[in-house]
Structure 1
Amino acid sequence: MKHVWALCLKFIASLVLLYVILTLFFGVPFGDVFVLTLILGIVSYLVGDLWLLPRTNNTTATMADFGLALILIWAILAMQDNPPYASLAMASIISAIGVTVFEYFFHRYMAANVLEETGDEKRKNTGSLQYQHEASDELFPVSPSEKRDKK
C-alpha cells in the first residue's frame, strides 16, 4: 500500500508541476501533459525510486532522474505532429529541472517512509569508511641473507 500511495503522490505532484510549466507557459494540451506524466511517473518510479535509490544515494538517483526526465519529455513532445509551442528544447529542459527538484524531495520521502532497510538490503553510508590497519613486531624488514648471517 505504501507503493501505491507513493506512486499516486508522485503522479499528482508531477501532473501539477508539468501542467504549470508545459501548459501555461508553452501551450502543450492537457491530454499530452497527462500522458507524459503517466509515462514519466511509472518509468522514473521503477528505475529511479525502486531500483537506483536503494542501491545508491539521493544525489545519484536525482541526477539519473534528471536525465531520464529530459529524454522522456523531449521524446514524447517531439512525437507530436504539429507541436503548438515555440521551443521544444527549452520546454524539455525547464520541465526536467522542475521534475528534478521535486524528485530530490520525493527521494527523501521514499527513503524515510517507503523503502524498508532489512538484512542485506541496507544502504551503506559510503561517507564513513572504516579502515583497518595492520601492525607487526618488526620495525625494519630484514632480508633473508641477513637472517642467515645472524644464525
Structure 2
Amino acid sequence: MTRFLIKTAVNGIIVVACLWLFTNATWTSAILTALGLTVIAYLIGDQLILRATNNVTATIADAVIAAIYLWAVARWMNWPLSFGELIITVALLGVAEFVYHRFLGIYDHNRIKKEPGK
C-alpha cells in the first residue's frame, strides 16, 4: 500500500500541476485524472511490466500509458492540451517513474540482504 501511496503522490503532483497549468481543468477534475492514471499505471506498469522486465521497460510503458490516457481524457473533457504540453507532462512523469522504480529496486535489494538466512 505504501508503494501505491508514493506513486499517487508523485504522479498527483506532476499531473495536477501540469493539467492546471496547461489546460482549463478544475482542481477536482485534475485530481481525479491523476488518480485514474495512477491506478492504471500501478496495475499495468508496476504490478505486471516492472515485475516481468526491468526499470527502463516499465518506465517506457508508464510513459506510453500516461500519454494515451492523458490524451484521451483531455479530448473527452475538451481540454486544450497541445501535443507539446502532453510531451512535457509525459517526460516529467517518465523521469519521476524512473526514479520511483529505481527507489523500489534499491529498497527491495536492501530488504532482501537484511533478511535472516540471505
TM > 0.5: yes
Structure 2: 5+ residue stretches without partners: 113-118
Distance 1:110 1:67, change over 3 A: same
* TM-score (structure 1 length as normaliser): 0.65
Work out which of the residue numbers 8, 11, 27 in structure 1 matches 2:24: 27
Counterpart position of 1:59: 56
- Residue 48 of structure 1 is matched in structure 2 by 45
> What is the deviation of 1:114?
5.4
User: Is the 1:77–1:88 contact (alpha carbons within 8 Å) kept by the matching residues of 2?
Assistant: no
Distance 1:16 1:63 in 2: 20
- Does residue 1:18 correspond to 2:11, yes or no? no
In structure 1, C-alpha distance between the alignment counterparts of 2:22 and 2:83, rounded to whole Å: 13
Identity of aligned residues (%): 27
What is the one-letter code of the residue matched to 2:36?
I
Give 5+ residue unaligned stretches, structure 1.
118-151
The answer to whether structure 1 residue 97 and structure 2 residue 94 are counterparts is no
Q: TM-score, length-normalised on structure 2?
A: 0.82
Tell me the matched-pair count: 111
Partner in structure 2 of residue 38 of structure 1: 35
Q: Are the equivalent residues in 2 in contact too, given 1:22–1:28 (CA < 8 A)?
A: yes
Higher helix content, 1 or 2: 2
Q: State the one-letter code of the partner of 1:37.
A: A
- SS of residue paired to 1:27: coil
Structure having the higher Rg:
1
Q: What secondary structure is seen at the aligned counterpart in 2 of 1:79?
A: helix
Kindly state the Cα deviation for residue 56 of structure 1 after the two structures are TM-superposed. Answer: 0.9
Distance 1:75 1:23 in 2: 17
RMSD: 2.0
